[in-house]
Amino acid sequence: MTESGHPLDPLLRPASIALVGASDRPDSPGQVLARMVLDSDYAGEVYPVNPGYREILGRACYPGIESLPATVDHVVIALGNPHLESALEAAIAHGARAATIYSSGILAQDAEPRLGARLATMAKAAGIKICGINGMGFYNVSENLYAGIFPRAAEIVGGGISYIAQSGSAFTTLCHNGCRLGFNLCVSAGNEIVTSVADYMDWSLEQADTRVIGLFLETVRDPAAFVAALDKAWQKGIPVVVLKIGKSPLGAKMAVTHTGAIAGNHAAFEALFRRYGVIEVNDFDEMASILMLLQSGREAADGGFAAVFESGGFRELITDEAFEIGVDFASLEGTTMQALKQHLDPGLEAENPLDVWGSHDRFEERFEACMDLLMQDPNVAAGAFISNLRDGYYLSEAIYRVVERISRNTRKPIALATCFADLANAGICRRAHAAGIPVIDGARETLLAFRHLFEYHRFKRCRPPAVEVSQLDPASVSAWRQKLETHPAPTLGEIESLTLLQDFAMPVIDHRSVQNRSELIAAAQALGYPLVLKTAATGVKHKSDSKGVFVNIDSKRILLERYDDLNQRLGPAALVSRMIGDGVEIGLGTFNDAQFGPVVMVAAGGVLVELLSDHAVAMCPVDAREAERMIGSLRANRLLQGVRGMTPANRQALVDAIVCLSVIAYELRDCIAEIDINPVLVNAQAAFAVDALILCKQSDDPC
């Protein structure tokens, strides 16, 4: 038994392996497993184990693990649920350091703790790593070890992608199809009773041939290890691409049912991914497209996109899609445009995107000269030749040769791309992959992939250093922590909430708390008209829904009438504040995620916070640069800049408010579950919290 360089080596790179449940029965899982392992070029020792056979596929077969001639690193258990417990016990007694278990771990008439929990307890006590349960195994493509029980593709292309999926079908979708993605590792993680996605990521990040990590993610079972793996990927410059499901309420419910674990708040994942530059995609086509670009290890340069076409119609299609998706075409240097003119037929413009088809005369030579000039332009970050390629078509073959030659002479990312998916071009795709050239199907997928590539480059260039938490007044922190931990109600009222914010230097609207008419009159005299009057009754979270807010009160008579109405319906407790003039309403808030801690959100405010999906989130705390990035990503940003004659809002004041709120949420994360400030009113002078609600963290909260 060899010493391991990484704790997962016995699992993913074993020196020897036993196949418990291997079989010669045609089309059985045991036969599939045996053929995949025994008929490959895996260099380790392999021992089939099945008491029903003396030989399998020409290899001696053993009746049990205890009869093996040597101790193996890894035991694959291809047995049904009733046999799992005894098989794992035998593997542990044998001295194996890893196991793969495919079955679900569910018994019809089971007792507590359930079988899956019993297997996990056994494995953890023995220090044995497990792939599964309820998974499809793994492929270490670099080692030619294919430990699965469903037939794999005849050839899985080797390369730099480590792909980890929490769904068996998602596992096979990428690695059992196509010839454009190259893998060093593919894992079907299953229920992760011992070994988690984060563990597989950590192992992959230690492999010299890993260029990018792809994840199909339903949940995260080890949040701290997952964050550590994302940070390690960032430190090593290895991008992580995630297809995260369970974003919708129904999807999250189904993810919980499927995995037996919490699905998590997607806004928290969004914030986490933002902090570590994770590339989040929405479907397999988008995932495959960006993986194709990243697997070569080529990084985008500064600048924009360059695209070459042999079709004016395709050029217009891509131009429209690029505008919608947000991909900027590079502005070419004057010298580049002058040089292009020498190679273009009459009637064609020297521009980007570029149509190069004029006539057949020396077309391949002209294509190459034009694309080479574009790729050499200092403003071009990456490029593609976009054509509906098909095998055996002279024009497509010429375009392939052009891109292949240029690819050898540039380190910028360069791709072949199409505008349609169902094309007969498998031969070109295979040659292109061998040459390190992506072939991306579809206009939208192509542009999404390049947008992700450029955003990742900008993140690497501009990612701020770790945020140092601003120091809040320790006495105030201690006092509020004690008050929150002993608060009799689950929420702070608006007055208390505004007071907490104000105690930590968050600007709030000038206000007074009143309990009767005389206090109200005194408050009005101190504040001055016009005024806003709100109920401060305990338990009223949404005051507008309860008709508990009156605005623009401009006289004592109306103020008293409104107060009497509130008093009669909701009680005497009220808050009166000065009516602020015009400004932009922004919603700010935080929530304390059960897995990843406090998250801050900025959004379009007022009633728009519920009507528009216009928000940005980040892990707490944030600094001024991150707060500015959050604001800049909003559609509401245009309102802050001033539209239709509006005076621009005080942007710095809003930045300061976001930073301040994020620090409050971080420092008081042990006792605050949520903070809702809606709106923060931002005008030319300042940003004020107008309304606030704070939800206390209860002792039984998981966060």
183-220 pLDDT, tens digit each:
999 999 999 999 999 999 999 999 999 999 999 999 99
pLDDT of residue 479: 95
Q: With cut-offs at 50, 70 and 90, classify the pLDDT of residue 250.
A: low
- DSSP symbols for 118-180: HHHHHHHHHT-EEE-SSS-EEEEGGGTEEE-SSPPPS---EEEEEEEESSHHHHHHHHTS-SS
Q: Which CATH architecture best describes the domain 1-135?
A: 3-Layer(aba) Sandwich (3.40)
Is pLDDT of 513 > 50?
Answer: yes
Q: With cut-offs at 50, 70 and 90, classify the pLDDT of residue 609.
A: low
Mean pLDDT (whole number) for 655-669: 96
Element of type H or E holding 241: strand 240-244
Beta carbons of 602 and 634 less than 8 angstroms apart: yes
- The model carries a pTM of 0.91
Q: Which amino acid is it at 164?
A: I
pLDDT of residue 153: 86
Report pLDDT digits (tens) over 421-442.
Answer: 999 999 999 999 999 999 999 9
Which residues have C-beta within 8 Å of that of residue 468, sequence separation ≥ 6?
Answer: none
Is pLDDT of 96 > 90?
Answer: yes
Mean pLDDT (whole number) for 24-38: 94
Report pLDDT digits (tens) over 332-357.
Answer: 999 999 999 999 999 999 999 999 99
Fold type of domain 153-297: Rossmann fold (3.40.50)
- Comparing 26-30, 37-41, 282-286, 542-546, the range with the smallest average pLDDT is 542-546
Residues in the chain: 703
Check if 299-462 and 466-509+582-703 are the same fold: no
pLDDT of residue 464: 64
Q: By percentage, how much of the chain surpasses pLDDT 70? A: 94
Residue with tokens 């505004």: 498
- The three-class DSSP label of residue 672 is strand
pLDDT of residue 472: 87
Fold type of domain 466-509+582-703: D-amino Acid Aminotransferase; Chain A, domain 1 (3.30.470)
- Comparing 31-40, 330-339, 367-376, 536-545, the range with the smallest average pLDDT is 536-545
Beta carbons of 126 and 138 less than 8 angstroms apart: no
Give per-residue burial for 47-81: e unless 16+ CB within 10 Å, then b. Answer: bbbbeebeebbeeebbeebeebeeebbbbbbbbeb
Closest by CA to 194, choosing from 98, 111, 51, is 98
Cα(141)–Cα(702) distance, integer angstroms? 39
Q: With cut-offs at 50, 70 and 90, classify the pLDDT of residue 528.
A: very high
Report pLDDT digits (tens) over 125-161.
Answer: 999 999 999 999 999 999 999 999 999 988 899 999 9
Is pLDDT of 259 > 50?
Answer: no
Which segment, 87-96, 358-367, 579-588, is predicted with the most confidence on average?
87-96
Q: With cut-offs at 50, 70 and 90, classify the pLDDT of residue 639.
A: confident
Cα 8 to Cα 11, 149, 664, distances in angstroms: 5, 21, 40
Q: Does domain 510-579 have CATH number 3.30.1490.20?
A: yes
Mean pLDDT (whole number) for 6-23: 98
Closest by CA to 47, choosing from 8, 82, 1, 16, is 16
Report pLDDT digits (tens) over 543-598.
Answer: 778 899 999 999 999 999 999 999 999 999 999 998 887 889 999 999 999 999 99
Mean pLDDT (whole number) for 247-262: 49
Report pLDDT digits (tens) over 297-330.
Answer: 999 999 999 999 999 999 999 999 999 999 999 9
Average pLDDT value over all residues in the chain: 92
Element of type H or E holding 657: helix 651-667
Q: With cut-offs at 50, 70 and 90, classify the pLDDT of residue 699.
A: low
Q: In the chain, what are the helix, strand and coil shares in percent, each to the nearest 5?
A: 40, 20, 40
* 397 or 647, higher pLDDT: 397
Closest by CA to 597, choosing from 280, 241, 267, 281, is 267
Report how far apart the first and last C-alpha atoms of the chain are (Å, whole number): 42
CATH number of 299-462: 3.40.50.261
Q: With cut-offs at 50, 70 and 90, classify the pLDDT of residue 2.
A: very low
- DSSP symbols for 433-450: HHTT--EE-SHHHHHHHH
Give the residue extent of every domain in the chain: 1-135, 153-297, 299-462, 466-509+582-703, 510-579
pLDDT of residue 465: 65
pLDDT of residue 630: 94
| Cα Dmax for the chain | 100
- What is the DSSP-derived secondary structure letter of residue 345? P
Beta carbons of 164 and 287 less than 8 angstroms apart: no
Beta carbons of 586 and 680 less than 8 angstroms apart: yes
Cα(385)–Cα(446) distance, integer angstroms? 11
pLDDT of residue 471: 75
Mean pLDDT (whole number) for 12-30: 96
Interhelix angle 651-667/624-632, rounded to 10 degrees, is: 120
